[in-house]
Amino acid sequence: MLPVDTHELHELLDSVPDTRDVIVRRADAEDLAQAVWEAARDDALEAWAAWSRRPGRDGWAVFVAASDREDAAFTALGRAAVPSTARG
């Protein structure tokens, strides 16, 4: 596989249409928001473990990004649990 520079990668990703599909690891999930949060939490835990085994800037960046995704998924989970009329 040939290496791709950041600019080329951004161009490639920008050309992919956003289908708004969500892919999660658990096929048996009844609650999508819960499944998304659990998958994000698992990714963050795996990233933390990887960084702990081999500290470095790249590993830390991966962990921070995964942690941010977990936080966003947790916020979405909370919003899904509260009826919109109760949010104001």
Query: Where do the domains of the chain lie?
Result: 6-87
pLDDT at 27: 61
Q: How far is 53 from 59, CA to CA, in rounded Å?
A: 10
Q: Is the pLDDT at 8 greater than 90, yes or no?
A: no
pTM: predicted TM-score of the whole model, two decimal places: 0.68
Residue-wise pLDDT tens digits, 35-70 = 889 999 999 999 999 999 999 999 999 999 999 999
